[in-house]
Amino acid sequence: LPLSQLIRVLKFYLGFFFKHGRLPSPFKTGFFKDAIQQGTASLLCLVDPKVFAKHFIHEEKDHLHFLLSIQKDMEKPIYIIPQLILYKKTPEKDHPKLLDVFFGFKENPGVIRKIALFFRHHRHAFIDFARPLNLKAYLESQPPARPMEEMATELRNMLIESIDMQKRVILGPVMKSRQQQKEKVLKDPEITTTIEHLADGNAKNIKQLRKDAGEYFDEIAADYNIAYVQFFHIALNWLWKKIFEGIDVDLENLAIVRESARKGPVIYIPSHKSHIDYLVLNDVLYEHHMHIPRVAAGKNLAFWPMGHIFRKSGAFFIRRTFKGARLYAQVFTRYIKELLEEGHPLEFYIEGGRSRSGKLILPKIGFLSILLQAYKEGYCDDLVFVPASISYDRIMEEKSYLKELGGSEKKKESFKQIFKARRFLKRRYGKIYIQFSQPISIKEYLQQNKDLEEDNNRQLAFHLIKAINKVTIVTPLALIASAILTKHRRGFHVNELTDTAEILLRFLRTYEAPTATTLNHFERTVGETLTLLVNRKVVNLLEDVDGEETFYYVDEDKKRELEYYKNSIIHCFIPHAFVAVSLLTGTEETRSEKAILEDYAFLKRLFKNEFVYDDGKDINEGGNNAIGYFLDSAFIIRVHTNGEYKLTRLGFDKLPIWAALAKTFLESYWIATRSFIQRENKSKKKVDLLKNMNYLGLRFHKMGLIDHLEAVSRINFSNAISFIN
- Concatenated DSSP letters for 698-709? HHHHHHTS-S-G
pLDDT surpasses 50 at 58: no
Task: Using pLDDT thresholds of 50, 70 and 90, give the confidence band for residue 209.
Answer: very high
Q: Does residue 321 share a domain with residue 307?
A: yes
Burial class (CB within 10 angstroms; exposed 0-12, middle 13-18, buried 19+) of 572: buried
Structural contact between residues 258 and 169, judged by C-beta atoms closer than 8 angstroms: yes
pLDDT at 272: 96
Amino acid 111: pLDDT: 67
Question: Distance between CA atoms of 260 and 439, rounded to whole angstroms?
Answer: 7
Residue 461's CATH number: 3.40.1130.10
pLDDT at 267 over 70: yes
pLDDT tens string 293-302: 999 999 988 8
| Amino acid identity, position 347 | E
Does residue 142 belong to any structural domain of this protein?
Answer: no
How far is Cα 405 from Cα 668, in angstroms, rounded to an integer?
12
Task: Quote the pLDDT of residue 101.
Answer: 43
For residues 117 and 88, is the Cβ–Cβ distance under 8 A?
A: yes
Concatenate the DSSP letters of all residues of 416-449 into one string.
HHHHHGGGGGGS---EEEEEEPPPEEHHHHHHHT
For residue 242, is it within any domain? Answer: yes
What is the pLDDT, as a whole number, of residue 48? 66
Residue 341 dihedral angles phi and psi, to the nearest 5°: -65, -35
Residues 6+ apart with CB under 8 A from 712: 406, 407, 668, 671, 693, 694, 697, 698, 701
Are 413 and 303 within 8 A, CB to CB?
A: yes
Domain boundary (452, 471, 490) is at 471
What is the chain's mean pLDDT, rounded? 88
Q: What is the pLDDT of residue 105?
A: 47
Decide: 124 and 233 in contact? Cβ < 8 Å. Answer: no
Q: How sure is the predictor about 55, in pLDDT bands with cuts at 50, 70 and 90? A: low
Q: For the ranges 25-34, 354-363, 442-451, 631-640, which has the lowest average pLDDT?
A: 25-34
Residues 541 and 601 in one domain: no
Helices then strands (H, E): number in the chain?
Answer: 31, 19
Q: At residue 571, does pLDDT exceed 80?
A: yes
Neighbours of 536 (CB within 10 A): 12
**pLDDT bracket for residue 93 (50, 70, 90):** confident
**CA dist., res. 670 & res. 556, Å (int):** 20
- For residue 652, the model assigns a pLDDT of 93
Residues 364 and 443 in one domain: yes
Is pLDDT at 506 greater than 70 in this prediction? yes
Please indicate, yes or no, whether residues 400 and 416 belong to a single structural domain of this protein: yes
Q: What are 572-610's pLDDT values in tens digits?
A: 999 999 999 999 987 778 899 999 999 999 999 999 999
Question: What's the rounded Cα separation, in Å, for the pair 664 and 633?
Answer: 25
Q: Are residues 433 and 577 in the same domain?
A: no
Of 308, 336, 338, the C-alpha closest to 177 is 338
Among the residue ranges 117-121, 144-148, 380-384, 616-620, the one predicted with the least confidence is 117-121
- Give domain status of residue 85, yes or no: no
Give residue 273's pLDDT.
94
- Residues 397-422, mean pLDDT to the nearest whole number: 69
User: Do 359 and 287 reside in the same domain of the chain?
Assistant: yes
| 512 shares a domain with 456 | no
Q: What percent of the chain has pLDDT over 90?
A: 64
CATH of the domain at 503: 1.10.10.10
User: Which of 20-24, 36-40, 166-170 has the weakest average pLDDT?
Assistant: 20-24
**Domain check: are 609 and 695 in the same one?**
yes
DSSP 8-state code for residue 268: E
Establish if 385 belongs to a structural domain: yes
Residue 419 within any structural domain of the chain: yes
Q: How confident is the model at residue 285 (pLDDT cuts 50, 70, 90)?
A: very high
CA torsion 391→393→398→401, rounded to 10°?
Answer: 30
> DSSP per residue over 111-177, as a string?
HHHHHHHHHHHGGG-EEEE---EEHHHHHHTS-TTS-HHHHHHHHHHHHHHHHHHHHHHHH-SPBPP
Contacts of residue 70, defined as CB under 8 A and 6 or more positions apart, other chains included, come to 33, 36, 37, 78
**Are residue 584 and residue 556 in the same domain, yes or no?**
no
Instruction: List the single range of 90-94, 108-112, 192-196, 478-482 with lowest mean pLDDT.
Output: 108-112
Cβ-proximal residues to 163 (8 Å cutoff; 6+ apart), any chain: 46, 82, 83, 84, 130
Residue 99 has pLDDT above 70, yes or no: no
Provide the domain count of the chain.
3
Q: Which of 569, 592, 607 is the last residue of a domain?
A: 569
Instruction: Indicate the pLDDT class of residue 215, thresholds 50, 70 and 90.
Output: very high
Answer whether residue 448 shows pLDDT above 60. Answer: yes
**Strand 108-109, strand 104-105: pairing:** antiparallel
pLDDT band with cut points at 50, 70 and 90 for residue 233: very high
DSSP state of 514: -
Terminal C-alpha separation, the chain: 81
Residues 624 and 564 in one domain: no
Q: What CA–CA distances, in Å, run from 304 to 36, 217, 222, 410? A: 61, 18, 15, 20
Q: d(Cα 303, Cα 282) in Å, to the nearest integer?
A: 20
Burial class (CB in 10 A: 0-12, 13-18, 19+), 75: exposed
Q: Which residues contact 491 (CB under 8 A, 6 or more apart)?
A: 551, 552, 553, 554
Least confident of 157-166, 281-290, 539-548: 539-548
Instruction: Note whether residue 180 is domain-resident.
Output: no
Res 113: pLDDT: 65
Q: At 590, which helix (H) or strand (E)?
A: strand 590-591
Which of 94-103, 195-204, 702-711 has the least mean pLDDT? 94-103
Question: At 349, which amino acid appears?
Answer: Y
Question: What are the backbone dihedrals phi and psi of residue 351, each rounded to the nearest 5 degrees, phi first?
Answer: -75, -15
Based on the domain organization, do 497 and 398 belong to the same domain?
no
* Contact between residue 602 and residue 594 where contact means Cβ atoms under 8 Å apart: no
- Domain boundary residue, one of 553, 569, 585: 569
Convert the pLDDT of each residue in 118-166 to its tens digit.
667 666 778 888 889 999 999 999 998 899 889 988 999 999 888 888 8
Does 137 map to a domain?
Answer: no
Select the more confidently predicted residue: 161 or 476.
476
Domain that holds residue 525: 476-569
Please state the pTM of the whole predicted model. 0.89
Write down the pLDDT at residue 603: 96
Helix or strand (DSSP H, E) at 97? none
**pLDDT higher at 250 or 60:** 250
Q: 190-194, 273-277, 542-546: which has the minimum mean pLDDT?
A: 542-546
**Residue pLDDT, tens place only, 12-26:** 778 877 877 777 777
Q: Is 148 domain-assigned?
A: no
Q: Does residue 408 register a pLDDT over 90?
A: no
Residue 696: band (very low, low, confident or very high) from pLDDT cuts 50, 70, 90: very high
Of 241-250, 273-282, 393-402, 498-507, give the lowest mean pLDDT range.
393-402
Q: Are residues 626 and 580 in the same domain?
A: yes
